[in-house]
Amino acid sequence: MGCESRFWGAMVLKREKKHSDGLVINRACVCFICIEGHLGGAEKSLLLLGEVVKQQYSIIAVCPAGSEVEKRFRQMRIKCRAINEIARGIGIIGKGWYFFKTSWRVWKIIKKRRPAIIHANNSKAALVSILAGKLSGAKFVFHCRDMVGSKAAIRLCSWAADSVIAVSKATRWWLIKKDADKKKIEVIYNGTKIQKDSVKNKFINEKICFGNVGQFVGWKRQGLFIDAADIVYRQRSDVRFCIVGDDIFSREGKYKKQLLQQVQDSEVKGCLKLLGWQENMEDVWGQIDCLVHTAENEPFGRVIIEAMEHEIAVVAIDSGGCAEIITDKVTGILVDSADAVELAGAMMQIAGNRDLERRLAKAGKRKVCEKFSFKTVGHKIMGIYERLLA
C-alpha cells in the first residue's frame, strides 16, 4: 500500500473529515429532513428508522416547529432544529418563496451541524435539501416514499442525490419514468414494529367489521369503499364498517366534503362509523376484522403491513406497492381493478368464510415478521450510509 492509500485509509477511520471548503464533516452524524409535521405514513416510517439509526449515529431532525413529528423525535431524545411547515392554499409564488426560505434555513443548519449524511424523507424534503447537499459536502440520500412530483423536480432530486431509496418496485419504475438515474435507485420496503401478540380480539364478532384507513386524499379513493360497503350491506346484515382518516394536511377540503356527503347519501350510513384520524391505532385495530385498501397505484401501502402485523385480513387493489406486499389468496385478497363490485365480491368472500379470514390474517402476520421488520429496514438503510461514507 502506497503513502497516499495509507493516508486516505486513516482519514476514513476518523470521525471527522475536512473538506477543501473548510467545513469539517461529522462522520457520526445523520440529518433527517422532514417538512411535514403530522404523522402520515412517511413520517411514521422515518420515526421508526430513527430508532434504529440512533444506535449507531447521532441524529439531527429538521422538522416543523411544534409539530407532532418534532414531539416524537424529542421523546426519542433526538435533537431537533425547526423549520416552518408549508402553508395550505398558497399559490405558485408562495410555494416558490417557501422552498427558497426553507432551503436557506436547511443550509444554515447543515453548515453549523456538519452531518455526514443528509436524509430527505420525501421528494419535497429532497428539494429543500439540494442546496445544503451541494454546498456542504455531505452525502445526500433521497428517500422517495410517494409518486408525486413533476419530471423536472424528480430529475433534479435524482441528480443531486448520492443515493435514491424507493419504497417499492412500483415507485422505482415511476422514478425511472420521471428520468431519475436508475443506477442510484435501491428498493427498500417500509417496515413496522413486530408484536408477539396481536391486540385484535380473537373471538368471532357477531358482526364482521370492514375498515378503510388512510388520510383523505383523492387517490386513496375512500368513496370506492363506501360504494362497495353499500353493495355488501344490501346482501348481508351481519356487517359493519368504519373509516379511519381525515384531511390531516388541510389540503383536501373539497374532497373531504364530498366524502362526508357521500356517507350521508349512502344506504350504509347507519352502520358506518367515521372515526377521524387516529395518532394511536392500537385500539382501532382491535375493532377491525378486515382492512379494505382502496388506493390505486399506492407507492407502498404502510397501513397494509400494519394491519397484517395485527393479524387482520386485507383486501386491496392489484397495483402499485400493494401487489408487492400481498400474495393473492395467501396473505390477502387482490382485486383486479378499482371497481366497487369487485371489491364487494372480495369482502363477501371474507364475510362468508371466517376460516378464510383467519387463515389470511395468520399468513399475513407471518409474512410481515419475515420481511417487513423496521429493524431489518433500518439496517439496510444504514448499509447505504456506510457505502456512501466509505
What CATH number was assigned to the domain covering residues 16-191+373-389? Answer: 3.40.50.2000
CA atoms within 13 A on the CB side of 232: 30
Rounded to an integer, the average pLDDT of 134-162 is 96
Query: pLDDT, tens digit, for every residue of 241-269?
Result: 999 999 988 888 899 999 999 999 999 99
Copy the grid coordinates of residue 281.
391505532
Strand 208-213 with 290-293, pairing: parallel
Residue 11 pLDDT: 37
Q: Domain 208-371: give its CATH architecture.
A: 3-Layer(aba) Sandwich (3.40)
Q: Where are the beta strands (DSSP E) in the chain?
A: 16-18, 24-33, 58-64, 79-83, 115-120, 139-144, 163-166, 185-187, 208-213, 239-244, 272-276, 290-293, 313-317, 333-335
Instruction: Yes or no: say if 382 and 186 are a contact pair by the CB < 8 Å rule.
Output: no
Q: What's the pTM? A: 0.88
Closest C-alpha among 390, 381, 385 to residue 17: 390
Q: What is the pLDDT of residue 7?
A: 34
> H helices of 14-162, where?
41-53, 68-75, 92-113, 123-136, 151-160
**How many Å apart are CA 43 and CA 69, to the nearest integer?**
7
Residue 83 falls in which region: left (phi positive, over 0), alpha (psi -120 to 50) or beta = beta
Exposure of 75 by Cβ count < 10 A (0-12 exposed, 13-18 middle, 19+ buried)? exposed
Positive or negative: CA dihedral 174, 60, 94, 37? positive
In this predicted model, what pLDDT tens digit does every residue of 162-221 receive, in sequence order?
999 999 999 999 999 999 999 999 999 999 998 876 545 444 457 899 999 999 999 999
* Interval 29-46 mean pLDDT: 94
Q: For strands 24-33 and 16-18, give the pairing.
A: antiparallel
| Residues forming CATH 3.40.50.2000 domain(s) in the chain | 16-191+373-389, 208-371
Instruction: With both helix axes pointing from N to C terminus, report the angle between 222-235 and 253-265 in degrees, rounded to the nearest 10.
Output: 10
